[in-house]
Amino acid sequence: MNSVHRRLLLAALMLAPAGCGSLLPTGGTPPKLYTLTPASGFAAGTPVRWQLLVDVPASPAALDTERIALSRSAITVDYYAEAAWTDRAPLMVQSLLVQSFENSGRITAIGRESLALRADYVLRPELRHFEAEYRDAAVPSARAAIGVKLVKLPERAIVAQRNFEATAPAAANEMAAIVESLDAALHEVTRQIVDWTLTAVR
């Protein structure tokens, strides 16, 4: 290879990454981390005496990540650049569900199933949607959808199951506003799950 060809090859290699688009952070910039909050402000109700464990939600691979998901159509999933959750989304949802049950003030024996504790029931969630949806709009709406099964122990029999879903519009197409809308949508879903679970067992 002569010197001219060598210089052309080096130039091509240097220019190649510039043509590649990516939603991931570039230049080694660490992503800005965001977290979510548990639901609170529950209506008063009769306390329950049984014990509950909350499993890590099952989820599609696209949501089993620290990256914050967005969708521009029903068949696409992308991620915001330079932004991430403080943990994988299913683990965050598990913690938020446990804290939301605690905030209800109606159940004191509550924990994560990963701790291998003994309980009367285990809640098995499935995180089906947790993303910002654009759908040809300039400002997205957050969508959260969780299916749950309430399983009786030690029989491991499903005694009740239900799907919950909520949406919340973002105030602006800015990361902080989008995270706030995701927080609001998840609040609504977790509040419904807590209220339903605490009345599903008779």
**Residue % of the chain over a pLDDT of 90:** 75
Please state the pTM of the whole predicted model. Answer: 0.84
CB–CB of 189/165 below 8 Å?
A: yes
Lowest mean pLDDT, pick from 7-11, 100-104, 143-147: 7-11
Q: Give the domain range for residue 129.
A: 53-200
Residue at 14 is within a domain: no
Mean pLDDT, rounded, for 49-67: 96
Nearest to 184 by CA among 148, 140, 138: 140
In a domain, 24, yes or no: no
| CA within 13 Å, CB half, 87 | 10
First to last CA, the chain: 81
Domain membership of residue 40 (yes or no) is: no
CA angle (85, 90, 93) in 5-degree steps: 80
The CATH number of residue 125's host domain is 3.40.50.10610
Is residue 12 included in any domain, yes or no? no
Contact 53, 111 (CB under 8 A): yes
11 within a domain of the structure (yes/no): no
Position 154 in a domain: yes
In a domain, 142, yes or no: yes
| pLDDT at residue 115, as a whole number | 66
Q: Is residue 145 part of a domain?
A: yes
Residue 11: band (very low, low, confident or very high) from pLDDT cuts 50, 70, 90: very low
Residue 164 has pLDDT above 50, yes or no: yes
Mean pLDDT of the chain: 87
CA angle (143 as vertex; 140, 148 as ends), nearest 5: 175
SS3 72: coil
Number of domains in the chain: 1
